[in-house]
Amino acid sequence: MKIGIPRALLYYFHHDLWLNFFKNLNIETIVSPETNKAIVEMGVNNSIDEACFSSKIFIGHVGYLQDKCNVVFVPRIENTGIREEYCTRIFGVYDLVRNTFPNVKCLHADVNYLYGKSEPGAFIEIGEALGKDKSESLEAYNNALLTANSIKEAKILQQEKLLNSNGTKILIFAHAYNSYDAAVGKEITDFFIDNNIKVAYADVINEKEAQLLTQKSYGKRIYCRVTAQQIGGIKKYKDNVDGIVIISTFPCGPDAIFSELLIRQIKDKPILNIVIDELDSKAGIQTRMESFIDIINNREVKH
């Protein structure tokens, strides 16, 4: 048994948990490579035009894995509680995969706390599908969760140390699957790093702390779980950076709303808003980033 894991969408939130869970069960996994031109083309060719670029990338990764493993891991996470919803594109990808690649076998489980489907229960269901008993699966999950939480805490401490250091710093406001994907945000962040700009991420924050910060500013009206976490990161870190870069993919509706919200509310920091699709010119984006760096540098000189 070899399980294929697409390096897209939920992977960037949960890969430490997933990979350690399968490792604890002695199940072999194969993760698709970083997004490349061939994967993008496969995703675009197998998706409807109205799909966001991030979900097209996911379909491309599934296409890459389809003949390289026994099953592809495609869980569905709809929510983690009241007002903690995931994007419909994210919890719809299982159905997209089944219809796009009917010959691909999927390893699947649902997480929907409003319907009594918890994350531990989903991993027990996954373990049972792999021939493991309940206690073995639950132990593998609990140990994987401890590992994943330790990795997250270390990242938070490392970022806080970076934000308290000298030098020019920017904060990235983007979903993790955009920030770290090679075809979306990675080239952008690499460009800033190559130009001696330190990069921090709004999503690298304790989730409970982020939730409290978001509710304090906006109440409980923001029910998109991932966006609420990022907004909490903006609230915590914005005073420690020299500029904010928003990265989203076309045509993401929630990102369009919250990007505009941030741009209107944050008046004391330069903001660069980058929206990417499969047709974007790298040269054009680079020119905008160069101008943004000039703006930051000019502000520092004036101060």
Three-state DSSP state, 34: coil
Place of tokens 């999503």: 203
Task: Please answer whether residues 219 and 246 qualify as being in contact, where contact means their C-beta atoms are separated by less than 8 angstroms.
Answer: no
For residue range 75-133, list pLDDT tens digits in order. Answer: 998 888 877 788 888 888 899 999 999 999 999 999 999 899 999 999 999 999 999 99
Same fold, 2-146 and 165-302: yes
Angle value at C-alpha 115, between 208 and 255, nearest 5 degrees:
50
What is the CATH architecture of 165-302? 3-Layer(aba) Sandwich (3.40)
What is the per-residue pLDDT for 133? 95
Q: Over 59-102, what HEC string results?
A: HHHHHHHCCCCCEEECCEEEECCCCCECCHHHHCHHHHHHHHCC
The neighbour count for residue 276, using CB atoms within 10 Å, is 22
Residues 95 and 106: their CA atoms lie apart, in Å, by: 10
- Tell me whether strands 110-112 and 76-79 are parallel, antiparallel or unpaired: parallel
Q: Please identify which residue in the block is written with the tokens 């004036």.
A: 302
Render 199-259 in DSSP notation, one character per residue: EEETT-S-HHHHHHHHHHHHTT---BHHHHHHHHHHHHHGGG-SEEEEEEETT-HHHHHHH
For the chain (303 residues), the mean pLDDT of every run of 10, in chain order, is 96 96 97 96 92 94 96 92 80 91 94 93 96 96 98 96 96 94 94 96 91 78 75 91 93 78 85 86 84 89 59
Domain 2-146: give its CATH code.
3.40.50
pLDDT of residue 141: 97
- The answer to whether the pTM exceeds 0.85 is yes
Residue keyed to tokens 């206690």: 135
Distance CA 101, CA 140 (A): 30
Residue 303 is predicted with a pLDDT of 57
Q: What is the pLDDT of residue 225?
A: 72
142 Cβ contact list (under 8 Å, min separation 6): 120
Q: What is the reported pLDDT for 264?
A: 84
Domain regions of the chain by residue span:
2-146, 165-302
Report residue 189 as tokens.
């962040």
Q: Who's near 234: CB < 8 A, 6+ residues apart?
A: 171, 173, 202, 244, 262, 266
Residue with structure tokens 């029910």?
223
Q: Please report the pLDDT score of residue 252 as a whole number.
A: 79
